[in-house]
A and B are shown apart, each in its own frame.
Chain A
C-alpha cells in the first residue's frame, strides 16, 4: 500500500485524531494526536490491509535551540517528537508515525511530558520507551516498568535534551 493510501485509510478511520502527514518525504510520515496513539497503533498492527507487525525503532527528537542567537533562525517551534518506525513483514511496507508533545508538561520546566505507552502493542517498545524516558525525559503513561535503562538510577537530568546541563560531579568523580 502506498503511504498516501495508508494516510487516507487512517483519516477515514480516525478523523481528526490524525493531525498531519507528509507522504512525499524521504520516509513518509503520519502524525497522530498523543491521546490516540495506542488506539491507532493497535489498528495499524491488526488491520488486514496494514499489518504493521514490527516496530523497527522508537526514538524521541528534541526540537529546541538553546542558543538565543540561533533560536531566531531555528526552523521549528520548540517541541518534542516521538518517532515510531514501523514495518510489516507480511506486506513489506514501511510507515513512520510521529507524536508531538510540548517540551514540558503544562509548560512547567522540569515536569516531564506524558505520552501513552505502546508496549502492549509491540513488546520491544518496552525497552525503547525506557531508553526514551532515560535519555529524553518523556513519561510513558501505563508503562509496566518505567525505569532508567542506560544511565544509573540516581542520574540527574536527561542527556539528549538540548538544554541538558552536563554534571560536574557524580559520586565523587569529577566531570569537565
Chain B
C-alpha cells in the first residue's frame, strides 16, 4: 500500500525504532484457526509478513491413495469443515468425470440445493467472524443463529451437522425427507407450533423467507456501518493482475474485479447442474460501495460474499421448483470397489472460498495412484505477505479476515 506524505503513518518512518519480530498465532483469536503469522515490524508498521502453516496437516492426499474414492469422501468433509457439502461435491464430480458417469436430474437438483445452502451457512460464518475480528460482536450472534437452522436442516437430511458425507459419487446418500417435525429453532423464530409436520423442502422454503429480510439488517449492522467502512475500505488492496498471478479464486478474485464463476464458466460436467437456473455473479466494483472503497480492497471482498448469499437464496428457490418435476432418482449406485480406469481427471468446482480442485489419477485399481486436493484458501492465503506490506498491525486481522480462510483446507 502506498504511503503518501499526508499520511500520519509517515511519522513512523521519521522515528526509526528497532525492527521487532512479532508472532501472531497460532493461537491468536483473529487468525481463524491455527495460522501463525511472523511479522517484522517497525513500530506499528509492517515490513514483512511470513505465514507459517501446517499445524493441521494430516496428509489427506496420502490417506486418499490408500482408500478407494468413496471411502475418501469423509476426509474431504474435514478439509473445509464450514462447507463440507461443497467439498464432497468437488470430489464426487471429479470421480464422475474420470469414470464417465452421468447423474440423474433429480440428484443434480438436490446437489444444487444442498451446495447452495451450505454456501449460505459458510458465508454467514465468514460474515459473523469478520465482524468479530473488527470488534463488532452482535452480527456474529445473528449469523450463528441463522446457521444453526441450516445445520438443523442438514441434520434432518443426512444425520450430521458438520461432517456430512451426504453428496457421494453417483448422487446423494439419501433423498431429502418427505416429512419431518419442524426444527425447534425454526419453530421458535417463525412462531410456529413445535409439533408442526412438514416436508423438508417446505421447512427450507420457510427458512429462506425468514432469512431474506434479515440480510438487509446485516447490511445495516456491518456493510453500512461507519466504523466497519473505516476498517475495511481502501485497506488490503489486491490488483486484478496480482489476484490472477497469485491464483486467488472465489470472492477474493471477484472482489478484485475479475468476472469469473465456475458455476457459469466452469467445465461442462459442473455447469450442466446449473443449466436453466437464473442467477447473477456479483463482481466488484459495486454501485452501492461507499466513496472510500477501492476496487480489490477488504470491503469489496466482504460485499461479494454478502451478495452471493442473495444469489444462493435465489438458486435454492428455483431448485425447489425444479425438484417437483425432476426425473430419475437421487442416486445411481457406485460400488466401493469399482476399479478406476488408467486415466486422470482434474476438476475444479466453485466452493464458498474459491475454486477447489480434485485431481485423481487412476491405475486400474479401486485405489487411485494419486489423489490430489488443490485448496483455494492455500492460494488465497499466499497473497497475505503482499497485502500486508506497509499496513498497521491492527489491519492484519482485517486483511486476513477478508480472505476468509479455513485452516483445515489449507493444511489438508
- Tell me which residues across on chain B come within 8 A of A151, comparing CB atoms: 54, 57
Known: A57-B372, A159-B62. A122 touches B245 (CB 8 A): yes
CB distance from A153 to the nearest CB of B (A): 10
Within 8 A of B (CB), among A36-80: 53-57, 59, 61-63, 74-75
Of B62, B242, B369, which contacts A61 at CB under 8 A? B369
Known: A26-B343, A126-B382, A150-B54. A160 touches B245 (CB 8 A): no
Q: Which residue of B lies closest to A88 (CB)?
A: B244
Q: Please give the number of chain B residues whose Cβ is less than 8 angstroms from any Cβ of chain A in the complex.
A: 38
| Complex contact B379–A124 (CB within 8 A) | yes
CB distance from A64 to the nearest CB of B (A): 9
| Complex contact B379–A59 (CB within 8 A) | no
- Tell me which residues across on chain B come within 8 A of A138, comparing CB atoms: none
CB distance from B391 to the nearest CB of A (A): 19
CB distance from A162 to the nearest CB of B (A): 8
Within 8 A of A (CB), among B290-348: 342-346, 348
- Tell me which residues across on chain B come within 8 A of A75, comparing CB atoms: 342, 363-364
| Complex contact B382–A127 (CB within 8 A) | yes
CB distance from B160 to the nearest CB of A (A): 27
Q: Which residue of B lies closest to A70 (CB)?
A: B365
| Complex contact B260–A89 (CB within 8 A) | yes
- Tell me which residues across on chain B come within 8 A of A127, comparing CB atoms: 378-379, 382
A92 CB-CB contact with B under 8 Å: yes
CB distance from B10 to the nearest CB of A (A): 29
| Complex contact B355–A123 (CB within 8 A) | no
Of A26, A56, A122, A150, which contacts B98 at CB under 8 A? A26
B361 CB-CB contact with A under 8 Å: yes
Known: A56-B355, A75-B364, A150-B54. A96 touches B346 (CB 8 A): yes
Q: Which 6 A-B pairs have the closest CB atoms?
A: A124-B247, A150-B54, A57-B374, A150-B57, A123-B245, A61-B370
12 A–B contacts from the bound complex (CB under 8 Å): A53-B245, A56-B348, A57-B357, A61-B372, A85-B359, A89-B244, A123-B242, A123-B245, A148-B54, A150-B411, A160-B62, A160-B65
Which residues from chain A sit less than 8 Å from chain B, CB to CB?
25-27, 53-57, 59, 61-63, 74-75, 83, 85, 89, 92, 96, 122-124, 126-127, 131, 135, 148-152, 159-160, 164
